[in-house]
Amino acid sequence: MHIDQLLHSIDTQMNDNQLTAKLSVSESWSQGRTLFGGLSAALTYHAMKHAITKEQLLRSLNTNFIGPIKLGEEFEITIEVLRRGKNVTQILGRINQDGKAVLSSLACFGTARRSKIEIKNNLQHCMPPPKKANFLPQIPKVTPKYLAQFQLAKTKGGWPFTGNKEASVQGWMRFATPPEVFSDTHLVAIIDIWPPTILQMFKLPKMASTMSWNLEFIHPHLPIANDDWCAYQATTRQASDGYAHTEANVWDAKGELIAISRQVVTVFG
């Protein structure tokens, strides 16, 4: 099941009078006992786009992963426009399954405005473009199935459960099967594909999951080709008491910063 199939299903269900969509996702998108978080956030964001205009761009997306989303069973995405101002629209998105809330997202969309303040981003990465993706063995009950939907080319850091002393990771990412057109919805999904930075420090498999995720999009940015690699660099700011705070920057293939990501990760070990 490709992500584009799910996005098309949302598009056919939602309109000005219908602010809900029902979906079921196959096991190929599983992340442990739940649906891959990047996909659930992306689907919710895609539903929100039906309540805005093309001029309103995503500025921030705050997602709380409340409970597991069961694969192969129907869930419902509901959106609510909290406020539609002159320049900014704020939308609340929810996913419910079996009558329970499992995800909540708050998005801020804003139109471009004239301003005397303009500060260019000077943060760059020094990673050469990858020649090919890394091989990721599919180890039952260890390697999440959703990773087969993507390609990763790691340049720094370790894979989970390798006993690495670092808590950072750098590399490149893209879809294994390119989407028809790469949109901001695809960008939301792909940013979350990397394993939590702290998992590489364990020598044996341990559980970890994202509790909350803050994502900011940098505009304007150039269109992204459907087979482009995007660069990713993540660090752990602090970790203790079973929680880790991580930050990441994302660049397009041309070296332009396009997103900033922050996560609070629960660690069981």
* Secondary structure (DSSP) of 74-111: -EEEEEEEEEE-SSEEEEEEEEEETTEEEEEEEEEEE-
109 in the same domain as 136: no
Judgement on whether residues 104 and 200 belong to the same structural domain of the protein:
no
* pTM of this structure: 0.95
Is 39 a domain residue?
A: yes
Task: Give the number of other Cβ atoms within 10 Å of residue 27's Cβ.
Answer: 11
Q: Residue 253 has what pLDDT?
A: 96
Distance, CA of 75 to CA of 21 (rounded, Å): 8
Residues 62 and 106 in one domain: yes
**Whether 133 and 102 share a structural domain:** no
The CATH number of whichever domain residue 163 belongs to comes to: 3.10.129.10
Question: Which residue among 63, 85, 113 closes a domain?
Answer: 113
- In this structure, the answer to whether residues 173 and 267 fall within a common structural domain is yes
Cα–Cα distance between 156 and 145 in angstroms, integer? 23
Q: Would you call 47 exposed, middle or buried from its count of C-beta atoms within 10 A (0-12, 13-18, 19+)?
A: buried
**123-129-135 Cα angle (round to 5):** 120
Task: Please state whether 33 falls in left (phi above 0), alpha (psi between -120 and 50) or beta.
Answer: alpha
pLDDT in tens, the chain (269 residues): 899 999 999 999 998 778 999 999 999 999 988 999 999 999 999 999 999 999 999 999 999 999 999 999 999 999 999 999 999 999 999 999 999 999 999 999 999 988 999 898 888 999 999 999 987 777 777 789 999 999 999 999 998 899 999 999 999 999 999 999 999 999 999 999 999 999 999 999 888 999 999 999 999 889 999 999 999 999 999 999 999 999 999 999 999 999 999 999 999 98
Select from 113, 135, 164 the last residue of a domain.
113
In a domain, 120, yes or no: no
137 and 62, same domain (yes or no): no
In a domain, 119, yes or no: no
Write out the residue range of the structural domain in which residue 75 sits: 1-113
Are 172 and 220 contained in the same domain?
Answer: yes
Query: Of 113, 140, 155, which marks where a domain is finished?
Result: 113
- Residue 135 is predicted with a pLDDT of 73
Same domain as 221, residue 191: yes
Q: Whose CA is closest to 93, among 14, 38, 18, 19?
A: 19
For residue 18, the model assigns a pLDDT of: 82
**Residue 149 pLDDT:** 95
- Say if residues 159 and 265 touch (Cβ distance below 8 Å): no
The rounded distance, in Å, linking the Cα atoms of 134 and 148 is 12
Type of residue at 30: S
On whether residue 172 sits in a domain, the answer given is yes
Domain count, the chain: 2
- Residues 268 and 150 placed together within one structural domain of the fold: yes
Same domain, 165 and 269: yes
3 SS3 class:
helix
Does residue 145 belong to any structural domain of this protein?
yes
